[in-house]
Amino acid sequence: MRVLIVEDDPVLADGLAVGLGLAGSTVDAVGNCADARAALEVAKFDAVVLDVMLPDGSGFDLLKDLRATGDRTPLLLLTALDDVKDRIEGLDRGADDYLGKPFDLDELAARVRAVARRGEGRATPCLNCGGIVLDPAHLTVAVNGEPVALSRREFAVLSALMERPGAIRSKAEIEDRLYGWQEEVESNAIEVHIHNLRAKMGREAIETVRGLGYRMKLGA
């Protein structure tokens, strides 16, 4: 899951990036509205965590503009302004959730997962596909009831594929989900991760569609 954090306080932004990273997300952090707009233009995020008071404007305005341009990215407002009035204003401007500072990191991670899940059109917390069950909250995967140990990257690749079982994910799409801007992408990393996943869950779990990408095999 790729998350964009828009927060101008460097300590908090760093904490969020590391914390959500530990919870299995790929995180990019920016410190103002302009950078947030640019980031949202060039990459697709599964969720945005947005502070309201930013040095170059209000998060509310950014949110309004975003929704006006038809951007449907699930968005969670994170702010010190947590009067009921502010919460209502934020939600009515198009936010999907609202959390007042200070907050619990685990709760924030859970809420981010929840808004992202809804953004994908799912209600069930676990991803289920042909006997493979992926639990994003606990970062666990089980094949036919047997737990399988995956690395963080392998987990991210698998969840990218399982979010839309049957749909083809290109290599670039998967890379996008896997790496933040700060990270160096190794050229054949995806192939390596797919290879490892097949080794752990069975060869037939993931199909290669030549020239297009990968997909989960349905009804396997």
List of residues contacting another protein (CB under 8 A): 8-12, 14-16, 18-19, 22, 51, 53, 55-56, 78, 80-81, 100-106
Residues ≥6 apart with Cβ < 8 Å to 103: 78
Q: Smallest distance from the beta carbon of 141 to another protein, in angstroms? A: 19
Q: Which residues are registered as beta bridge partners of 53?
A: 58
Q: Smallest distance from the beta carbon of 105 to another protein, in angstroms? A: 4
Alpha helices in 10-151, H assignment, sequence order:
10-22, 33-42, 59-68, 84-92, 105-119
Residues ≥6 apart with Cβ < 8 Å to 124: none
Tokens of 198: 């097949």
Q: Which is nearer to another protein, 53 or 167 (CB)?
A: 53
Q: Smallest distance from the beta carbon of 131 to another protein, in angstroms? A: 30
Tell me the C-alpha distance between 20 and 1, whole Å.
10
Q: Which is nearer to another protein, 34 or 133 (CB)?
A: 34
Tell me the C-alpha distance between 39 and 31, whole Å.
11
| Residue 75: closest CA among 104, 46, 41, 55 | 46
Pairing of strands 26-30, 2-6: parallel
Characterize 161-175 residue by residue with b for buried, 16 or more Cβ atoms within 10 angstroms of its Cβ, and e for exposed: bbbbbeeebeeebbb
Q: Which is nearer to another protein, 11 or 199 (CB)?
A: 11
Q: Which is nearer to another protein, 3 or 81 (CB)?
A: 81
Q: Smallest distance from the beta carbon of 216 to another protein, in angstroms? A: 30
Q: Smallest distance from the beta carbon of 13 to another protein, in angstroms? A: 8
Q: Which is nearer to another protein, 52 or 132 (CB)?
A: 52
Q: Smallest distance from the beta carbon of 94 to another protein, in angstroms? A: 23
Q: Which is nearer to another protein, 15 or 180 (CB)?
A: 15
